[in-house]
Amino acid sequence: MRLATWNINSIRARADRAVAFLERSGTDVLALQETKCKDDQFPRGLFEDAGYEVATVGFSQWNGVAIVSRVGLEDVETAFPGQPGFGEEPVVEARALGATCGGVRVWSLYVPNGRELDNPHYPYKLSWLEELRAQAASWIAEGSGDPTAQVALVGDWNVAPLDTDVWDIGLFAGKTHVSPAERAAFAAFAEAGYAEVSRTFVPAERTYTYWDYQQLRFPRNEGMRIDFTYASPALAARVTGVTVDRNERKGKGASDHVPVIVDLTD
């Protein structure tokens, strides 16, 4: 089974690229983030014609996540239990979607950006990650969960866990994505029993998953590594390889992120 995650940065602008990627890569399950459309605007017909089932959650032109699968799509959840909302009257945003695909519980996650360290979005981001961690821990815990459960937490985490995950750490001083609190929130998933498998198989420095459109960031390889796959122990044992598809950032109409592909034994 081949599972991939990709911040598509508008599915309506890049649906053809997404379908071409599925066909070229042989991906069975694709988790998408930042789809930027309502559910009824998602171009599901293109994916269904290619043999994939589709689940989405999107409320507006912001955020939005989806999962497309050709190995089954069951027990869809449009938020994780306890998912925090944002705003004075908190609204649960379209940032998490869960579905069981081929026996794997896949969560497509678009973690809040945080914006600035003194912005209300920053504590929202931290509480969002903490509640997700608590829920994810319960899914595989002895007694309250299933230690043999195969769970994949995939997506755009909006955290660069290591200094080498950004092209110049000096430029990020005092900014989000690299703050100690964000990195601790990310590391807490490992403490909860999950393994970040993309780092295991692709440890190289200057291997990024995101490059801003401005200032020739991609040609200069001035990027960030912020798209990851945390796997439960049972699922991590099945991982045989991970690929960061850098070539998908090339060409006209590319997303600013690239797919991260995880291969699993049967």
- The CATH number of whichever domain residue 14 belongs to comes to 3.60.10.10
Q: Which two tokens stand for residue 237?
A: 């044992």
Task: Give pLDDT tens digits along the chain (266 positions).
Answer: 999 999 999 999 999 999 999 999 999 999 999 999 999 999 999 999 999 999 999 999 999 999 999 999 999 999 999 999 999 999 999 999 999 999 999 999 999 999 999 999 999 999 999 999 999 999 999 998 999 999 999 999 999 999 999 999 999 999 999 999 999 999 999 999 999 999 999 999 999 999 999 999 999 999 999 999 999 999 999 999 999 999 999 999 999 999 999 999 98
Q: What is the pLDDT of residue 155?
A: 98
Sign of the Cα torsion 90, 94, 100, 106 reads: negative
Domain extent for 179: 2-264
Helix, strand or coil for residue 240? strand
In the block, tokens 């190289």 appear at 204
Sequence-ordered list of residues with C-beta below 8 angstroms from that of 81, at least 6 positions apart, any chain: 135
Q: How many CB atoms lie within 10 A of CB 221?
A: 13
What 3-state class would DSSP assign to 147? coil
Strand order in the sheet with 53-57: 53-57, 65-69, 29-33, 2-7, 260-264, 239-244
The predicted model scores a pTM of: 0.98
pLDDT of residue 208: 98
Rounded Cα–Cα distance for residues 18 and 245 (Å) = 13
DSSP conformation class of 85: P
What is the token pair recorded at 68?
């497309």
Helix (H) or strand (E) holding 201: helix 197-201
Query: Left (φ > 0), alpha (ψ -120 to 50) or beta: where does 47 sit?
Result: alpha
Rounded CA-CA distance 213/159 in Å is 19
- Predicted local distance difference test score (pLDDT) of residue 255: 98
Q: Tell me how far apart the alpha carbons of residues 84 and 126 are, in angstroms, rounded to a whole number.
A: 10
**pLDDT for position 169:** 97
Question: How many independent structural domains does the chain possess?
Answer: 1
Instruction: Give the pLDDT of residue 249.
Output: 98
Cα distance between residue 193 and residue 233, in whole Å: 7
Q: Name, in order, each residue with C-beta under 8 angstroms of 45's C-beta and a sequence gap of 6 or more.
A: none
Name which of 198, 203, 207, 227 is nearest 167 in CA terms: 207
